[in-house]
Amino acid sequence: MNKTISLACGNGGEENNELISKVFYKAFKNDILEKSEDAAIIHGGELAFSTDSFTVSPLFFAGADIGKLAICGTCNDLAMMGAKPKYLTCSVIIEEGFETSELERIVASMKSELEKNGAIVVSGDTKVVPRGSVDKIFINTTGIGEVQKKGISSNNITTEDLILVNRDIGCHGATIFAAREGIEMSSNLQSDCESLYPQVKALLDAGINITALRDATRGGVSAVLNEWAKQSNICIEVEEEKIPVSDEVAGICEMLGFEATALANEGTFVLAIKKEDAPKACEILKTFKNCSQATVIAKVTQKHLKKVILNSSWGTSRFLETPNGELLPRIC
């Protein structure tokens, strides 16, 4: 570990993983935490429990704002464990001088997204700090969800599974970067920020045999696949041409040297589904708005354990590594 914390320590990649494992996991070590899931499964497997903090800049961007993001972020973490979001807390740190009208707009977004999840805020805290002590507003949400299907875990993926995504990737990261840098695009590019429980519920209601789910936030799809490969001691072989990427996201990646698989998402999730159920899962996901490109992108093998391999359409292969460095700080 470095002697000081860098922005890269919050990017969801290698530096972030090192910080968590060598500082927080070391201090708080316990069986639940070490499972490294999107949410902790507690109370005999009946409840899911998760927390998240949001510092995104800018606060308002195409497709969402920090309020919608704060509810989606925590509710989606619960949904990824097969849980229905039920109760949330909301803690807010506000900079002196922040516009009340903007705060009301943010809270209205939170209220709207809570309704989509069928969840309510039951407790909270508000702090106001002197001007310059925080950048406008930071929000923390903690949530409890009722587990609808037990056993979903990123530690249980096997060669009997296929890896899917529910939609095209990288929209949130590309949108935030464009907004932050003042890049004007004549396109419909916007954040994919969305509550995912309705999609998860549809899969569960259809009896789809789900092994694992993970929303591809900081670090993107690359981070998720590498975490899964390590947690389940498997190799994941990705077909590059199968990964859905919009023209707008591809353009930003080409212009700035990014990889779409490393860009953050807020409404895109990765699924490990039993092979026989994968086609039906794709059909169900495609009934949702923005999910017309739901598809299988990878298979699970024993080729190189704990590694992710990216196979190109040219017949070449390379390791798809966990992102590192300062890609886009304050992305969520």
pLDDT tens, residue by residue, 159-186: 999 999 999 999 999 999 989 877 776 6
Task: Please provide residue 198's backbone torsions phi and psi, each rounded to the nearest 5 degrees.
Answer: -55, -40
SS3 283: helix
Instruction: Tell me which CATH code domain 161-319 carries.
Output: 3.90.650.10
Angle between helices 171-181 and 247-256 (to 10 degrees): 60
User: If residue 17 lies in a helix (H) or strand (E), which one and from where to where?
Assistant: helix 14-19
Burial class (CB in 10 A: 0-12, 13-18, 19+), 201: middle
5-57: per-residue pLDDT in tens? 887 777 677 788 788 888 998 899 999 998 989 899 999 999 999 999 999 99
Domain ranges of the chain: 7-147, 161-319
Nearest in space to 75 (alpha carbons), one of 15, 116, 126, 25: 116
pTM of the model: 0.94
The token pair at 121 is: 């805020």
Instruction: Tell me which CATH code domain 7-147 carries.
Output: 3.30.1330.10
Of 225 and 12, the structure prediction assigns the larger pLDDT to: 225
Q: Is the pLDDT of residue 113 over 90?
A: yes
CA distance 123 to 116: 19
